[in-house]
Structure 1
Amino acid sequence: MTATAVTDPVDLGLDPTRLGYLDDHLRRYVESGRLAGTLVLIARGGEIGHLSACGLADRERNVPMARDTIFRIYSMTKPLTSIALMQLYERGLVQLDDPVEKYIPEWKNLRVYVMGSGPSLVTKPVSRPMTVRDLLSHQSGLTYGFLERTNVDAMYREKKIGMAELNGTLRSMIEALAGLPLEFSPGEHWNYSVSTDVCGYLVEVISGQRFDRYLHEHVIAPLGMVDTAFHVPPEKQHRFAACYGYAPNGIRLIDDPASSDYLHEPTFFSGGGGLVSTIDDYFRFCQALLNGGELDGRRIIGRKTLDLMTENHLPDGKDLASHALGRWAETTFAGIGFGLGFSVTLDPARAQISGSPGEYSWGGAASTTFWIDPLEDLIVIFMTQLMPSNAYNIRRELRAIVYGALAD
């Protein structure tokens, strides 16, 4: 099996021989049965220099991976949601230091977990109120049930909070969270969480528009992201990839594109992980960011606002290794900070990755990822469908190969 070039290569300072290492590497993943298929895009200066597909989008039906394949992007939804909330910031409708209780009154008396469970639960008051910036930077004290690290995580699982198949609404999630303690007082730590789902709810409250409609009208449609949505309509089902789970002897089907929940419009519009998209759609989003917030004459965010979002917002310049609880996320921790919706590279040497200071990125639960390197005028997007995202070290491997291919 070979990787298929989807576009003719363009000379953008990318060594074609070294880019061949990338295709060979991904082909080995597919031929060994560790991945069903892959799609990778590399762009510089606004032009695609490399776009190649390998393997199958749907192994059970022998559907080849293609440029227009639709993927579950899971947490790669988070940057779009963060942009949506910061658009409202730019309109003067919300401030980063606003207490969240201003928009969610029932969260006024949030408490922090101390010990115990059930009727013997012991909590304490928060040291300070949760702010909008805490939500955007995952310093809110909220968590995810799938982390399976603490008793608070277990409470989330019991109430199905943050689960993709949640049968409810953003509002019902907010009501459920009001009755649960935080992991820590806001600002004290970083913890990957449902914070961005709450950001989606704030977009609803502040804009007065249902979150999915706001996101489509103000981010997705202006950028011409024609295949990005919270579900896959019938006419596009044939392009929808299968999703697989890691197994000791290869992979196993865990979400069939012929019967997936994504074929139906949800009631819960997850700003933290609900979107499907294509590699071209996500490239348009990334290129708008690299352009300072604008693409083809349509601006989705101001240049200085984007600068603010891609700064490190962890206290005292800390990295995730020194400020985070646990180690589950879509990034490494040493040498990596966090902004408002993105991880931010502070020190590539400390992170032990190829890259540049100021690069920002994120990934999704099914092993998708992207990064934007303003210093190199570079965008890289990788699409596949394998859970969990830490099954293999493929993201770091891709970085090494891509940066090794930069000729100038």
Structure 2
Amino acid sequence: MPGFNATRLERIGGWMQSYVDRKRFAGASVLIAQGGKEVYYHDCGLRDVAQAAPWQRDTVARIYSMTKPVTSVALMMLAEKGLFHLDAPVSDFIPSFGEMTCLVEGATALDQVVPCETPTLHQLLTHTSGLSYAFNPGVLGQAMTDQKIEFHGDRETLAQACDRAAALPLAFAPGARWNYSIGIDVIGRVIEVASGKALEQFLVDEIFDPLGMDETRFSVPAQARDRFAACYTPLAGNAFSTGKVEKAEDSLRLIDGSDKSPFLKTELHSGGGGLVGTIDDYLKFTEMMRTGGAGVIGPKTLAFMMRNHLGSDIASMGPDSFAEQAMEGTGFGIGGAVLLDPARARALGSVGDFSWGGMASTCFWIDPVFDLSVIFFTQLIPSSSYPARPQLRALVHGAMT
């Protein structure tokens, strides 16, 4: 098994500091483990610019869509108990999805629809359900924006949010395309129905407590409030926009402070993007996945999750949505991306890498060839602002001997 060149590893710290010096990131941390042993950690910058508070190892950050693999593991834990099959329609758990329609090809209005099948649990997990996100282009994305179907905030319960999403047509017939979506938020509600527990309670009982992830929750733990990071954007308009928008004069414009954030007390638990936590907590989760379940979930189930569940790569399925990383040469498993061809993805890595990221520019990947877990934390929205993820991959692989 190749190791690491210490001098080359130190390049990572310089690269991170350059992002801080240029006011691209307020602060950041990276953690690399190989074979379960830490080989590199570095942090720099500030977790809160106004308070001049340093970014440290125990900083609590919003991980947004890095919540998705956690929720996906939870669903598969229930599947292991024989409670359902992945081809089950979601309407078995959420009846409002029983009578579905989808937009016709090229639709310009919300009423241009035809009847279609109900999405399955597998399609929700793999973003092939026909659901969307409010920030995605098209008729459905605009309708979600207008109706504020966002799966965050405390205006409604998770059950109510799912029912409102079910009232809209799908962007396409389930299984026809790949489209980044609220599908795993809906899976969060499926977990509640199937388990009889609130989503957070199920995660605490079945994943967080067994793994010792004591500071990963949907609300910032009381003991960690003085370590919660602020979140920034370089954009002048909507920070959650993934299109071309005007840059702000301040490249670190505050959009969610550490003292007044909705994450300090969250009622609606977003299984697709609602968790906060520390970098060491997330390492416990990635190491559980890398090593075969740690008694939390079966190794065969994890191997199944970390395979490509699409016919080819994401790009072959005609997506017009945002994604957290390259679509060419990248497939998708249960809750995360699977690297199929590093050359086509134009990013260093091993075939079979399992990964994903979050809207605030966090990311992780698990390399089964070199027994790696790599986690990067920062707090900048949107994650498409800078090419930090492929740059970090190049730095990590460039340091290997």
User: Which TM class, normalised by the smaller chain length?
Assistant: over 0.9
1:63 corresponds, among 53, 69, 79, to 53
> Secondary structure at 1:146's aligned position in 2?
coil
1:322-355 Cα offsets, whole Å, 9 max, x none, are 1142141111111000001010001111111110
Give the structure 2 partner of residue 274 of structure 1.
274
1:89 corresponds, among 67, 74, 79, to 79
Measure the CA separation in 1 of the matches of 2:151 and 2:381.
Answer: 15
Amino acid at match of 1:13: G
> TM-score, normalization: structure 1?
0.92
Measure the CA separation in 2 of the matches of 1:166 and 1:337.
Answer: 34
Deviation for aligned residue 1:107? 1.3
Give the structure 2 partner of residue 123 of structure 1.
113
Measure the CA separation in 1 of the matches of 2:13 and 2:108.
Answer: 51
> Secondary structure at 1:379's aligned position in 2?
strand
Deviation for aligned residue 1:267? 2.1
Measure the CA separation in 1 of the matches of 2:64 and 2:378.
Answer: 12
Measure the CA separation in 1 of the matches of 2:54 and 2:348.
Answer: 31
Deviation for aligned residue 1:12? 7.8
The alignment covers a number of residue pairs equal to: 386
CA contact (8 A) 2:151 2:161 kept: no
Deviation for aligned residue 1:302? 0.5
Give the structure 2 partner of residue 352 of structure 1.
346
Amino acid at match of 2:61: F
Of 16-25 and 96-105, more deviation after overlay is shown by 96-105
> Secondary structure at 1:221's aligned position in 2?
helix
Note if 1:19 corresponds to 2:9: yes
2:65 corresponds, among 75, 95, 116, to 75
Measure the CA separation in 2 of the matches of 1:300 and 1:233.
Answer: 23
Note if 1:405 corresponds to 2:394: no
Note if 1:138 corresponds to 2:142: no
Give the structure 2 partner of residue 261 of structure 1.
262
Of 335-344 and 207-216, more deviation after overlay is shown by 207-216
1:179 corresponds, among 167, 170, 174, to 167
Deviation for aligned residue 1:117? 3.1
CA contact (8 A) 1:81 1:199 kept: yes
Deviation for aligned residue 1:129? 3.3
Give the structure 2 partner of residue 6 of structure 1.
none
> Secondary structure at 1:387's aligned position in 2?
coil
Deviation for aligned residue 1:151? 1.1
> Secondary structure at 1:203's aligned position in 2?
helix
Measure the CA separation in 1 of the matches of 2:118 and 2:275.
Answer: 30
CA contact (8 A) 1:160 1:166 kept: no
Deviation for aligned residue 1:165? 2.5
Measure the CA separation in 1 of the matches of 2:267 and 2:156.
Answer: 6
Q: How does 1:31-70 map to 2 (within 5 A)?
A: 31-70=21-60
The runs of at least 4 aligned residues of structure 1 exceeding 4 Å deviation read: none
Note if 1:307 corresponds to 2:294: no
Gaps of 5+ in 2: 236-246
2:377 corresponds, among 370, 377, 383, to 383
Measure the CA separation in 2 of the matches of 1:324 and 1:59.
Answer: 41
1:270-294 Cα offsets, whole Å, 9 max, x none, are 0000000100000000111111111
CA contact (8 A) 1:366 1:386 kept: yes
Measure the CA separation in 1 of the matches of 2:199 and 2:153.
Answer: 18
Say what the alpha-carbon RMSD is for the aligned residues. 1.4
